[in-house]
Each structure stands twice: as C-alpha cells, then as structure tokens.
Structure 1
Amino acid sequence: MFVSAESSPPSFTGFTLVMPAVAVGNVGQLAADLVVSTLGMTRVGYMHTDCLVPLAGNNPYAAGAKDAEELHTAAEVYTSADRKLAVLQIRSPVIQTRSKKFCKLITSWIKSSGFSRTVVLSSSHAYQRDDQQLQGGPLRYLMTPGLLKVCGDAMKELGWREMERIPAFPGLPDDSSEPRLSIPGGGITKDLYTDSCLEDLSLGALLLFCSEGDNVPDAFTLVNHLDDWLHLLDGPSQGPSRWKIPTSWTLLFGSGIPPALF
C-alpha cells in the first residue's frame, strides 16, 4: 500500500502518525495541511490503493514556481525526522463501498510500520448532537484502551471531553438499549477507531462538531488543540507559534467570479 519516494524505505518506528478522516467540512484535512506547511515536512511516499477517488494535481505546498509543478496524488506521507512525526494527508473521498477495506489497510500499515501512536483529525455534524453533547466546547476525543493508559492523565489536565455515547433511539423515555458510539458525518473515524481497538493499536481521534461552510476557523481550532497535546510548535527552531497557510488555500473557494459575467 505504501510506496516510498526514496530509494530506501523510511523507518517510522517510534514516530507519531497524524492523519485526517475525510469528514464534514474537511476540517481534518485542512488541519493536516497546516501541520505539513508550517513544519516544512518532507514527502517520503504515497499510498497506492483503489479505495480512494483518484486524484492528481500540483504541489499544494509550493514555495515558488520551481516546485509548483510537482505531481501530487490523493494520499501522501510527509515526515519531520527531528520531531519523529509523520502525516498521512488524504485529499480525496474514500469510496463508500470500500471504506471497510481502507480501514483494514490503514490499520495494517500502522501496525507493520511501528508507529508509537496515531492521531486522527476529524469532525462531526453539529446539528446531530445529543443533548449531553451540547455541553462544553465543540472538541471531543476518542482513545483506544492502549493509548488511554498512556495519555489519560494528559486528557484530564487539558480538560477535554471524551466523545459521549448516545442511546440508539434518543428522546424515547423507554429506550433501555446500550449507549453507542455515533459520529455522523465523521467518515471512517468510527470504523478506524473500532478496528484499532480490536488490533490493540494506540490510536486517538480529535474531532470538532461543525457545519459545512467556511471551515478554516475550525481547522485552526482543531490544529491548536493538537498542538496543546503534542507540542508541535515548541521546538527551538520554530520561533513564534504561528501556523503557515499553504499556497493551495488561495483556491479553497474557487478562482473568483469571471469578470465576463458582467
């Protein structure tokens, strides 16, 4: 599945993997863009799979005309060796009938690559929140038992709320069914979390309740929470804690209204 861009495959042993789920508002993907762009991460390979809608385009993180014409694809891996950090950026939707297969491929790759932990950046429909989910801020987290043993205290210190389980039929007074995990609009987040629990992987998910629209502010909110946990911008060479917006964001809402219309 992973194809190295280098002559010798990179080692991910002990690295933290950050990846988005293609979810409502594309918040996770935008947040991953900010991490790759700000940290100046290096592309080390790509994912070859039939589970994603095919995509190819110019370099989304181009610094000038020289590297703007590089060909980039639907799913690529970037690393920052000094931070022991890897980012799997996914740029196109998962084909619905192959989402289960894609989750299995991802968990298998995570396991074989030796990542110390995986963080999924995701989102969920704000309008489908249960009453208890209306309390507190919009951020929620999920963690597999393996990662919760290590990071549970950190979550308490940060004051974050775990994603609440909700009744199968909310609002019915006689609903005695076991509360279940529901992430409407969250793409593969739930399946990836469930598979990681079964595989005993150290995986966590950070997600925001949001709506479709201009989700750039949501991306900054999510990536700032990620930084609060992983301290991505605390390195001595980083300088001021400031996220760098990639050049590709100039086309987030298209190229503008053609003057010929008027």
Structure 2
Amino acid sequence: MFVPCDGLHPPQLRDYSLILPAVSVGNVGQLAVDLIISTLNMVKVGYIYTDCLVPMAGSDPYAVSIGKSELSINAEVYFLAERKLAVLQIRSPVIKNKSKAFRQMLVSWIKRSEFAQVILLSSSHAYQRDDQQLLGTPFRYLVTPAMQNSVGEALRDLHWKEMETVAAYPGVSESEKRIWIPGGGITKSLYTDSCTEGIHLAVLLKFCSEGDNIPDAFSLVNYLNEWMPLVEHSIGDSTETPAKLKIPNSWRLLFGSGLPPALF
C-alpha cells in the first residue's frame, strides 16, 4: 500500500504517467530510474509498504551534501507535478514466492491511482537472445492492448522494434509462440497482468549482460526520451544527441571505494 511522507497529503495522481523499474539483469531499469529522479530533481512523496520486497534501508541516494539524515527504503514514490510524472523506485528484489502478491499490489495501486499510462523499464540477458534478435538494435518494447491504440502508431513511427515471440518448445514444435524475457524479473508477468486488467502499460527493455551497466542505463533513458521527452538534449533539439542526465552522488561508490592505499 502507498503511504505518504510525514506531513504530506496523498498526492492526486490521476492522469499522471508512472515510470517504474523491474529488478532485472544488470539492474538497468533501477539505474535508469535513478537518472530520471536525479536529473529532474523529483520530490519524494511517499513509499510503498509491502512485505514482498527484501527489507533494506540506507542513506539518501540523491543527497547533494554529506550529512543529510533522511533515509531511503526499498520502494519509494517520487513526484513532479509540472510534468504530471510519478516515479516508483524499487531498490531490492522481490522475495521468493511473493512475486504474485507484489504484482497484485502494484496493479491495485495503479488502478486506484488512475494513472494515464505506466512505463516499465527493464532488461534481458543478451546471451539468451533468439536468432532473430541478434541483429539490429538491442532495444525492444511491448505495449498492452489497452495502450496499443493510443501509442502503437507513434512507436512504429520511431522505427522501434517490438519484442519478438519465440518458440515455446524450440526444437520440438515451432508453431506455439510465447514472449520470453530471461533475466527480466517480473517484467513478463506484470505485462500479462496488465493486459488482463486493461492497464495502459508499455515495457521498454534492453538486452545486456552483467557488469558495469551504467552505459546501459544512460542508453535506456535516451531510448525512453525519444518517445516521451523528459530531458533536454545536449545539442539543440535533436533526438540524435544524448540527453543531459545528472548522475546521483551515490553512484560514486557504485563499485565500492577502491583499493585501500595501505595495501601498497
């Protein structure tokens, strides 16, 4: 359930766009959401109280100075009224066997809040691509039937590639097809739930591998920015150039603090 921050009234989110990540390979969706929150200086308005995520608490990842006492937890909601934009950042994985309950909670909150559209940022294992996915762009998208009429043509005009279906039983039967997103966490199941519930949801994902996934996060935000302009571009208004993105201070220690000098 959504709980507003102390002293704040629950924000009215009707007709807002919601962006959220899937906890997936390389944490690309979460890193991309970090970039969006940091770049747009979004304000935290509450958090999602749930027992479906691994508990965690830490310092504010977007603090601009050392010593801020505010803590961050595993699922927080950020807000930008002038853009009619809300962002849910998820910082820990779903507990085993609680994926369905977590999805049901998300779907219920999305429907209750009456979001105009939901964008799920995700990733998938590059090494498990089908043959037809090996060529061309590493990005794919999916939209629910409820959203197809409103954005389907716009996405095709961008020459984006829709996620391909692959054989459900490769080598045995090629007639039965399915959507397969290995390493995508709840991506496919949340998409399926949204199709059933009539939610306007789009999935944007990138094929990638584990490692330094900061470049993948930058490219995924730029991919989103082609369709849903959130951030100004570096040179003029051309979508061919990268967007101006602000890296959170917490990323300085993304791979630890380095080797201690005492070792040498």
Which interval holds the TM-score relative to the shorter structure? over 0.9
Q: Could you tell me which amino acid in structure 2 is paired with residue 205 of structure 1?
A: V
Q: Determine if the alignment matches structure 1 residue 259 to structure 2 residue 257.
A: no
Runs ≥4 residues deviating over 2 A? 259-262
Report what 2:186 is aligned to: 188
State the secondary structure of the residue aligned to 2:100: helix
Report what 1:162 is aligned to: 162
Distance 2:192 2:263 in 1: 50
Q: Could you tell me which amino acid in structure 1 is paired with residue 94 of structure 2?
A: V
What is the Cα deviation at residue 176 of structure 1?
3.8
Report what 1:51 is aligned to: 52
Distance 1:103 1:253 in 2: 30
What is the Cα deviation at residue 234 of structure 1?
4.7
Q: Could you tell me which amino acid in structure 1 is paired with residue 119 of structure 2?
A: V
| Distance of aligned partners of 1:241 and 1:139 in 2 relative to their CA distance in 1, 3 Å threshold | closer
Q: Could you tell me which amino acid in structure 2 is paired with residue 124 of structure 1?
A: S
Q: 1:244 aligns with which of 239, 243, 246?
A: 246
Distance 2:44 2:8 in 1: 13
What is the Cα deviation at residue 135 of structure 1?
2.4
What is the Cα deviation at residue 168 of structure 1?
1.5
State the secondary structure of the residue aligned to 1:179: strand
Q: Could you tell me which amino acid in structure 1 is paired with residue 71 of structure 2?
A: L
Distance 1:54 1:25 in 2: 20
Distance 1:214 1:169 in 2: 33
Tell me how large the CA RMSD over aligned residues is. 1.6
What is the Cα deviation at residue 69 of structure 1?
2.5
Report what 1:33 is aligned to: 34
Report what 2:106 is aligned to: 106
Report what 1:201 is aligned to: 199
Q: How many residues align?
A: 256
Stretches of structure 2 that go unaligned for 5 or more consecutive residues are: none
Identity of aligned residues (%): 59
Q: Could you tell me which amino acid in structure 2 is paired with residue 255 of structure 1?
A: S
Report what 1:11 is aligned to: 12
Distance 1:71 1:109 in 2: 23
Q: Determine if the alignment matches structure 1 residue 152 to structure 2 residue 152.
A: yes
Distance 2:47 2:197 in 1: 24
Q: Could you tell me which amino acid in structure 1 is paired with residue 13 of structure 2?
A: F
Report what 2:79 is aligned to: 79
Distance 1:241 1:90 in 2: 23
Q: Could you tell me which amino acid in structure 1 is paired with residue 195 of structure 2?
A: C
Q: Could you tell me which amino acid in structure 1 is paired with residue 97 of structure 2?
A: T
Whether the 8 Å contact between 2:232 and 2:244 is mirrored in structure 1 is: no
State the secondary structure of the residue aligned to 2:168: coil
Q: Determine if the alignment matches structure 1 residue 229 to structure 2 residue 231.
A: no
Report what 2:134 is aligned to: 134
Q: Could you tell me which amino acid in structure 2 is paired with residue 129 of structure 1?
A: R
Normalised TM-score (structure 1): 0.94
Whether the 8 Å contact between 2:18 and 2:117 is mirrored in structure 1 is: yes
